[in-house]
Structure 1
Amino acid sequence: MAITTSELPDTASAVLAFARSSRAIADRGEAELLVAACEWADLHPASSVSDAAAFLLGGGSEHEEPVAGPGAPLVAEFCIAEFGAVLGISTVSAKHLIGQALELRHRLPRLWRRVQSGDLPAWRARRVAETTIHADLSREAASYVDAQLAPFAHRTSTSAVDRLVDAAIARFDPERAAAEARLAADRRHVTIEEEQVSFAGTIRVTAELDLADALDFGAAVTHGADVLKSLGSEESLDARRASAVGEMARSQLSLDLTAGFETGLRTSSTSGRQVVLHVHLIEGDPVARLERGNLAALDQIQQWCTQSRTQVVVRPVIDLNEHLVCDGYHPSARLREQVILRDQTCVFPWCTKSSRSCDLDHIVPWEDGAVTSTDNLAALCRRHHRLKTHGRWRYRRTGPAAYTWTSPHGHGFVRDDEGTKPG
């Protein structure tokens, strides 16, 4: 039951005492959740997988899942999704939680004991566990980190944990440390933050280049900005420089740099590589929706469409309520696009993977005499498609983009265009 403002203490000291008590209760709950995660893993060991040989295959039925570092037990893959679903988190988040719990109990026992005694907040221990898992430390190196860190974990920063992990690698795996040092010496990179798109339709690009390459790049950008100004651009210098980078990229993509070489790559001498951006417009709305979940102003969309070498394709409107049926197992292009647009993401509880990268699943299996139609197709990412096909999860379509799921242990979930909720 929710606590209303009127039920809170009415003095400053009492509010602080209430907040401190609430924090202690939450910390205790997080520690108990780690115990539950370990117990769930114990109930679903790798030996419970019915077809262990599937571990050697790229897909198919359930396999053993490594979720923590060397020496921690493997778990049966399909159990992870149900644990996450009842907690209201994605399967990937559940895998991290179970892995961190096992990492602490089996490879970082000193930190585990501090958490269970109430002496260390679970979130601090989980952060360390995630670092040692990601670093793939040996058992000896993990034990070293545990011994060194446990007395001070309540006040150790993230950077200090990273330094300690690096020291453990250097101490117990010097060859790996030397190899990583050689790689780290070359810090060149170009990073395009594609998932961080601003409302203005811009994204951040960072790079570290060789000095000569950087100077040549700078000169080319400056030249491009000057050309745009000479052509009548009234934008600021910074904006013209940014536009020049885009013009340079499109010009580069239009060149056939492989002429005379056997590369196996297909190139075009007349147009650049096609980059597809799916934009959904509603009449009268000044804001467009991009399929990556971002929004953009119509003025920005219009500017993109008028840039040189841009090909604009307008496709017919697809009625998401139209009932389409196809002969055979595979859906038509129109039916596929309809399901993708209708579902938007994988329809498994709490999953947010884009439907455009998903499989289309026959809700009632094709082998059981079902048809390939609007009502019997749903977007499922490959992980959850396998889970539905080879696990004991079941679901049915209950609305235009609504699905009711039942887990192996009978927990119900409703996934619709507003998200996921227990049901």
Structure 2
Amino acid sequence: MYGGAGCPAIAEFAPAEFGALLGTSAGSAAAYIGQALALRHRLPRIWATVLAGEATPWKACKVATACLELSEEAAAIVDENVCGLLDTITPIRLGKIVTAARYQADQDAARSAAERKARERGVYVGRVDDHGTKSVWILAATGDVLRFDATIDALAEALKTLGDPDPLRLRRARALGILADPAHAQAILNAGRTGIVGQAAPADPTVAASVPASGRAASGHPTGSQGGVGEPGLGGVDAARADRPRLELVPPDLAPPPSVGPDAVEAGAVEAGAAVGASAASEAEVEPWDTSADPEQTPVDSGSPTRQFVNGDLAQLDGVAGSRTSRTMVYVHLTDHTLATGSGVARVEGCGPLLAAQLTELIGHRPYSVRPVIDLNDKISVDSYEIPRRLREQLKLIHPVEQFPYGTAETTLATDLDHVQPYDPNGPPGQTSTTSLIPLRRFSHRVKTHGQWTVDRATDGALEWTSPHGFTFQVDHTGTHRRPGLPSGTDPRPG
């Protein structure tokens, strides 16, 4: 049946002729027919927005395809939740919302899909190249990967503290080898924390995991908990992540070995796990100009005095064990009903939507601490130009995504925070506040500062952006809305 349950039957060979007339294959024509039928009969609200010219057809088709396996009742839930969002947010954010709506509509199907994906997990070692470099491909539970990544970051920072002059990416690669000996890795972490080679650090077994904040009215999302990933005990990892190059596509040499095959493991499509080395289909859409280079790009020769000195310290640490020092912070957004019943859909920052039952696997069973609830309606302000951490965290939760028109980058503690109106050193107190600051990725920040864009905050809290040629956009918790009409000064008459 084309289009899913509830769609009328279509003659078996109809797509062949239809495809020939369109100049495409019968398979492509069949998919096109299925999308049209699904929109007309299963997603009537979305279909109405397309007919009214309020939604882009190809985006509606993608929603229809994503819902093919849902029942009519479940598809109706997605239709209701998504119909007003198709052209107000980017395709990546739309995909996440559709996924969350699908999970909410049919939790049994979502649970079964997660279990199928979980069976694809594994660790695969690729072939060595001609220069002694080997690749590793990992598909594992999201929580395990987050903790692994935080530990790699912590080891890289410890190596830097101990004098390793290599760039961050090389220190992270070296950390992978250090992890092969857990006792040696622990000794390096302790030494990096104390700055003393051979001395163990005090115990700190805490793994922090947050719970929901009491409200998210300002953002339009369900009640949220503190968000963001990675706060190792060594500190400074948020900054390290900001500097770390982000690989958005899997390099060919990182593909799973032939015994697994592309059909068995679909790179970048793991919903219940995560891939190390490949943040596929990243919501941040990192651009080349957003990637800060490591301050020291040139590796240091292995025979240099600095390298020999560091190697000597690391050799002393071999075999010196201590206590666990790394910590991971996880931000989870969920409603009070989901928290009370353990049933429903949660949004985990940096991961996307998950079933509530998957949070146990995400957080794990090690010791963890719960952070105090943050009331997002609280107004925080300071007199200084500098932004304290508590204000950063509040803004991060109020605005989970950057506030530039059609912005895609998720807000982190390392995201730029810009004053809507320029800060005046001689102005009144309280100029730095939750209402005067907005999160922007670095490129968007530069566009606002140097690209002749202007922004003002409306009385309802929305942002009114104006482009250099006078086009205006409103950005609020529902997304971006293009203001109707021609830009000021434009003559609509021809010639």
TM-score under structure 2 length normalisation: 0.35
Larger RCO of the pair (alpha carbons < 8 Å, separation 6+) = 2
Task: Tell me which structure has the larger Cα radius of gyration.
Answer: 1
